């Protein structure tokens, strides 16, 4: 039987040549990678070409490239790459999508590609963030917790039965849920995300991911993080504005498209 092709969907020609920023977004950027067990996830942003924005040219708004075929889970050494058109990225970012926000905070070797426009985008972060991001972190935590408990959209079959067999529960779901809670608290109370995680948060998350804690103890940490994040969002500790500065974001996005097109002679 011939090998199935890897995933290659969307703007596979336009996205790479118009990229302005790309960073690692998976376990490595959080400091939670375990050698020999994790794939590599990267997210980037590109500027669509004029015909896609102003004309009738196809505009998928993204390019997805994965080492593995469709439906096959990534493993050690695999790459999952997602590039988003700037307009789509900004829509997701102002809504507070936790994964989408990572390129705005990644540092050092985690930054794979950057340009002057990419750095301007990162500098725009305070205008992008709002209290909505805190609620999205809480929602993503709840989704991971549901899957940890055997629920959610992926049915009651554990996604990683090998972890359940080894540790008694899916340690990856639990560590993701805990990470989202701790990062949500940091973002809501400081307006920043530390990448890698702050040392205390990282120590807890790695202990869960490695299976060093029993299920009850791990779940207690997740629920405590959730309770703190919920309290921050409802109380006076949240420093994020109620709404993003859409006027500033819109003005920059228009300017970024115009300048990129002029620079490329498009």
Q: Is the pLDDT of residue 101 over 90?
A: yes
What is the pLDDT, as a whole number, of residue 239?
98
What is the pLDDT, as a whole number, of residue 11?
97
- Mean pLDDT of the region 52-57: 97
What is the pLDDT, as a whole number, of residue 37?
72
The mean of the pLDDT values for the chain is: 94
- Mean pLDDT of the region 40-52: 97
- Reported as a pLDDT band with limits 50, 70 and 90, residue 153 is low
What is the pLDDT, as a whole number, of residue 76?
84
- Reported as a pLDDT band with limits 50, 70 and 90, residue 152 is low
What is the pLDDT, as a whole number, of residue 162?
85
Q: DSSP of the chain, one letter per residue?
A: -PPPPPEEEE-TTHHHHTEEEEEE-SHHHHT---TTT--EEEEEEEPPPHHHHHSSS---SEEEEESSPTTPPP-TT-EEEEEEEHHHHHHHHHTT-HHHHGGGT--GGGEEEE-HHHHHHHHTHHHH--HHHHHHHHHHHHHHHHHHTT-STT-SS-S-HHHHHHHSS-HHHHHHHHHHHHHHHHHHHHS---SSPPHHHHHHHHHHHTT-S-HHHHHHHHHHHHHHHHHHHHSS---S-SS--HHHHHHHHHHHHHHHHHHHT-
Q: How far is residue 137's CA from residue 139's CA, in Å, rounded to a whole number? A: 5
- Mean pLDDT of the region 123-147: 97
- Mean pLDDT of the region 96-110: 97
Q: Tens digits of per-residue pLDDT, 201-255?
A: 999 999 999 999 999 999 999 999 999 999 999 999 999 999 999 999 999 999 9
- Reported as a pLDDT band with limits 50, 70 and 90, residue 157 is very low
What is the pLDDT, as a whole number, of residue 74?
86
Q: Tens digits of per-residue pLDDT, 61-94?
A: 999 999 999 888 888 889 999 999 999 999 999 9
Q: Tens digits of per-residue pLDDT, 164-203?
A: 889 999 999 999 999 999 999 999 999 999 999 999 999 9
Q: Is the pLDDT of residue 151 over 80?
A: no
């Amino acid at each position: 039987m011939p090998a199935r092709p890897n995933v290659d969907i969307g703007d596979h020609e336009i996205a790479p040549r118009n990229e302005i920023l790309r960073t690692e977004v998976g376990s490595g950027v959080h400091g939670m990678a375990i050698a020999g067990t994790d794939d590599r996830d990267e997210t980037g942003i590109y500027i669509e070409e004029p015909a896609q924005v102003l004309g009738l040219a196809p505009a998928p708004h993204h390019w997805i490239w994965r080492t593995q075929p469709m439906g096959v889970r990534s493993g050690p050494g695999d790459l999952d790459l997602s590039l988003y058109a700037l307009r789509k990225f900004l829509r997701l970012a102002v809504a507070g999508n936790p994964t989408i926000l990572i390129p705005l905070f990644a540092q050092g070797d985690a930054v794979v590609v950057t340009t002057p426009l990419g750095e301007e985008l990162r500098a725009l972060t305070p205008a992008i963030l709002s209290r909505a991001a805190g609620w999205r972190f809480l929602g993503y935590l709840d989704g991971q917790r549901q899957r940890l408990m055997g629920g959610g959209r992926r049915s009651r079959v554990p996604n990683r039965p090998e972890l359940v067999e080894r540790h008694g529960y899916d340690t990856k779901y639990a560590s993701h849920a805990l990470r989202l809670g701790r990062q949500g608290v940091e973002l809501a109370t400081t307006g920043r995300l530390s990448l890698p995680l702050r040392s205390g948060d990282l120590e807890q998350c790695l202990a869960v991911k490695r299976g060093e804690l029993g299920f009850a103890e791990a779940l207690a940490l997740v629920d405590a993080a959730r309770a703190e994040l919920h309290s921050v969002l409802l109380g006076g500790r949240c420093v994020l504005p109620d709404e993003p500065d859409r006027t500033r974001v819109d003005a920059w996005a228009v300017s970024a498209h115009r300048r990129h097109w002029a620079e490329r002679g498009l």
